[in-house]
Amino acid sequence: METVSTNRSHGGVQGVYKHRSSETGTEMTFSVFVPDHAEGAKLPVLWYLSGLTCTHANVTEKGEFRAACAEHGVIFVAPDTSPRGDDVPDDEGYDFGKGAGFYVDATQEPWAQHFRMRSYIETELPALIAAHFPVDMERQGITGHSMGGHGALTIALRNAGRFRSVSAFAPIVSPLACPWGDKALTGYIGADRAAWREYDACALIEDGARVPDLLVDQGMADGFLEEQLRTHLLSEACEKAGQPATIRMQEGYDHSYYFISTFMGEHVAWHAERLTR
């Protein structure tokens, strides 16, 4: 692991790091904020998965999470959204290829070699973080935005018991039922829609997966809400299955980091309450 940069902020250290990933076969960059803490202490960790076209830098620079993480003693980890590099295949569209990994392990060519973001986030990066940072891996939370909200929900639902807290900002709740998901999962996973269910939060809940609790914030002025995000499908799936969930529709807010940063402090506090019990 190589340190790209470190900066003092909010009584802690904001770092950016990179390493060679065995899962993606590329160099991967991520950011970690570590609040000040007693020597030898282990802190809970909150994973943040970013959305389409983003890197680790978007939330690191615009997410406004550090004050809340410092207050509550929570480490914040933000990985990239996809593999990158000259040898990595790409697509002309912004919603597929580099910057649009969808947190899946691709099975279709030419994507299968490098696009293994599911295994990277679920297995490789946690091991690296545990080896280099003072994290208590028994106290993990996960959140994300848009495509990253889809990633946070599905990763938590597939890994029962790993995460004490799960939240999302404007998540893609059902790739099976939206154009973004149809394009991405057809391209990465293939035409068999039955194989897509493990990458669809609503389908996972319908199939019996559960998390302890769930918090979702969705802006009502979000231009992607009706066609792509379809938050009502998650509300219906949770209600039908008895999955505890607080799904808040926020009047006037859009899909941007103005929206995310407004509610980030509340999400960090919500996670911290569950991670520090």
Give me the catalytic one of 21, 82, 146, 165: 146
* Three-class DSSP category at 40: coil
Structure tokens at 162: 């790993």
Beta strands 12-20; 27-35: pairing state: antiparallel
Examine the residue annotation and report whether 222 is marked as an active-site residue of this protein.
Answer: yes
Q: Which amino acid is at 7?
A: N
For residues 184 and 67, give the distance between their C-alpha atoms in angstroms, rounded to a whole number: 35
Examine the residue annotation and report whether 255 is marked as an active-site residue of this protein.
Answer: yes
Give me the catalytic one of 56, 150, 255, 271: 255
Task: Identify whether 110 is preceded by a cis peptide bond (ω within 30 of 0).
Answer: yes
CB contact at 8 A, 114 and 22: no
Give me the catalytic one of 56, 105, 222, 267: 222
**The residue to which tokens 């030898």 are assigned:** 40
CB contact at 8 A, 199 and 176: no
Examine the residue annotation and report whether 213 is marked as an active-site residue of this protein.
Answer: no
Alpha helices in the chain (DSSP H): 56-62, 66-72, 117-119, 125-132, 147-158, 179-189, 201-206, 231-241, 257-275
Active site residues: 146, 222, 255
